[in-house]
Amino acid sequence: MNADQFVKEWASAYNDQDFDRFGALFTDDVAYTLKAFGLAFTGRDAWVGHVREYAAAVPDRRLTVKRTVADGDTIAVEYDFAGTSAGVMANLPPKGEPVTVSFCTILQLRGDRAAAQVDYLGG
Burial of residue 47, with CB atoms counted within 10 A of its CB: 0-12 exposed, 13-18 middle, 19 or more buried: buried
Tell me what pLDDT residue 122 has: 85
Instruction: Give the amino acid at 22.
Output: F
pTM assigned to the model: 0.93
Q: What pLDDT is attached to residue 77?
A: 98
- Residue 93 is predicted with a pLDDT of 93
Q: Are strands 26-34 and 62-71 parallel, antiparallel or unpaired?
A: unpaired
Segments in 16-109 forming alpha helices (H): 19-23, 44-57
Q: Mean pLDDT in runs of 10 for the chain (123 residues)?
A: 93 96 98 92 96 94 96 97 94 93 97 97 80
Q: What is the pLDDT of residues 12-37, one digit of tens each?
A: 999 999 999 999 999 999 999 999 88
Identify the CA nearest to 4 among candidates 87, 84, 69: 69
